[in-house]
Structure 1
Amino acid sequence: MCLQLSKSSNKHHVKLPKLGIMRFKAGIKIPEKIKSVTVRLSPTGKYYAVLLVEYEKQTFNKTGRQLGIDLGVADLVIGSDGIKFPTIRFDKILARKKHYWEKRLARRRLQAQKEIAWDKHNKVLNPRCLDDFKNYKKAKLMVAEYNEKMTNQRNDYLHKITVQLVKDNDVIVMEDLKAKNLLRNHKLSRAIVNQSWREMRRMLEYKCAWCGKTLVIVNPYKTSQICSECGYDDGKHTLDIRDWTCPGCGHHHDRDINAAKNILRLGTSLGKRVVTSA
């Protein structure tokens, strides 16, 4: 079944079966032919239409560049060329406003539960439920809106980084991080979740496939403790050590850049598994 955009009002209407003509907002031009539409309701009460369309494959010019990237906490992405993309803590930016409504949500939920229990105790014919309390629903909506805003800001930042990486490099080598194991460190667990490393990998996978570039995934074992110049193994470094000097060759390393160089070497010289390619 093929759906068509409505002819009315500057292509801002789509005709859906059983629903008729629906107005929508979109930041890009929608192709005339739509194969399918999935309508999704978000926790904030917004309806999103996910469209499946035919679209011409986008490609970027070949640059001949190869890049190894190390994922971190202080900096989100560290490249083997020395370029770093800083971490932006979107959860902290809105933390105070979100906490304001989280406290009210907890208090209003407790009050509503007391009212519901009182109705049941008095055997009211139609006892109230949580959705019958407008103050509770308002607080719940506000918390959901702040969560959605943080998610949108984080995804927008990840999209900008991944597009730049794919556009500037033909081969990208990244580490296969197991975030579940890293979350055992309770001091860094919240910061690690905020980084969304898995989401960044997912974006790189499909963008490399779209644009004719190659993504390689390697095991990050010892990449931060081996000298990228001479291969000397300096042993495990604690997280507070951000730079070190190799006892073997005397070269001074930035911990993250050195790891990114080792990741690039693993991905290009040892023929590791290619995830996506042209």
Structure 2
Amino acid sequence: PSFNSSYFEKKAKIWQKKYSRRRHLVKLLVLQDRNKRVLCPRSLESFTNWQKAQKSKAKYQAKAANQRRDYLHKLTTHLVKQYDVIAIEDLKTKNLQKNHHLAKSIANASWRMFRQMLEYKCEWYGKKLIAVDPKNTSRICSKCGYNSGAKPLEIREWTCSKCQTKHDRDINAAVNILHKGSTKLNGQGLAMVTS
């Protein structure tokens, strides 16, 4: 099952807006008191409404983060217990997040946290984690090895122009990661993990 924290993220977004609006109004009132040279001017801390909104926002953000962490713990434990060797792409998520269309999805997937969990759990259970170069994993045909070049992200299926094999983009990339991992290890029994 895929991870979905949309409920908590939606709530956090609602409270973020409330917090921003309330804090802005409070700042205006504090500024008003200062400009009118009120004898006992109010401070930001004297208003509790924006502070309540801040707490609610933080609560929902924490719930989403906890749900994500719990999901990743369950997934990584399952993978490490099921496989002796796991091959993953050595992704640089900072570079991937430069694409504003993907940034949210990549951040939500928590690839870095996922990898860290895999690393220490593989160490705990005496399993092997192999990080392979992600270069061309979605471009190369996993059957004949032909590199058909870059493809826009909206293309999820493609046919190799050399051997006419029809590919699902993600499955093809996973098989290529497996091949690269096998070459590194010179063994068998690998698990495929793609982003």
After TM superposition, the structure 1 = structure 2 runs for residues 79-98 of structure 1, keeping only pairs within 5 Å, are: 86=2, 88-90=3-5, 92-98=6-12
Shift of residue 119, structure 1, vs aligned partner: 4.0
1:140 to 54, 69, 91: 54
Query: 1:131-182 CA deviation, whole Å, 9 max, x = no partner?
Result: 3311111000000011001101111111111111101100111001111111
1:243 aligned residue = 157
2:96 aligned residue = 182
1:204 equivalenced with 2:118 (yes/no): yes
Query: 1:32-76 CA deviation, whole Å, 9 max, x = no partner?
Result: xxxxxxxxxxxxxxxxxxxxxxxxxxxxxxxxxxxxxxxxxxxxx
1:173 aligned residue = 87
Q: Closer, same or farther in 2 for the Cα pair 1:267/1:124, shift >3 Å?
A: farther
2:132 aligned residue = 218
- Residues of 1 paired with 2:76 and 2:56: CA distance? 30
Q: SS in structure 2 opposite 1:184?
A: coil
After TM superposition, the structure 1 = structure 2 runs for residues 94-109 of structure 1, keeping only pairs within 5 Å, are: 94-109=8-23
1:268 to 182, 189, 195: 182
Shift of residue 89, structure 1, vs aligned partner: 3.6
Q: SS in structure 1 opposite 2:135?
A: coil
Task: Show structure 1 runs of 5+ residues with no match.
Answer: 1-84, 273-278
Task: Show structure 2 runs of 5+ residues with no match.
Answer: 187-195
Is the 2:9–2:61 contact (alpha carbons within 8 Å) kept by the matching residues of 1?
no
- Number of equivalenced pairs: 185
Bigger strand share: 1
Bigger helix share: 2
2:192 aligned residue = none
- Residues of 2 paired with 1:229 and 1:270: CA distance? 19
- Residues of 1 paired with 2:175 and 2:10: CA distance? 39
Letter in 2 for 1:153: Q
TM-score under structure 2 length normalisation: 0.85
Shift of residue 186, structure 1, vs aligned partner: 1.5
TM-score under structure 1 length normalisation: 0.61
Query: 1:67-90 CA deviation, whole Å, 9 max, x = no partner?
Result: xxxxxxxxxxxxxxxxxx53x341
Query: 1:2-29 CA deviation, whole Å, 9 max, x = no partner?
Result: xxxxxxxxxxxxxxxxxxxxxxxxxxxx
1:157 to 41, 53, 71: 71
Identity %: 48
Shift of residue 249, structure 1, vs aligned partner: 2.6
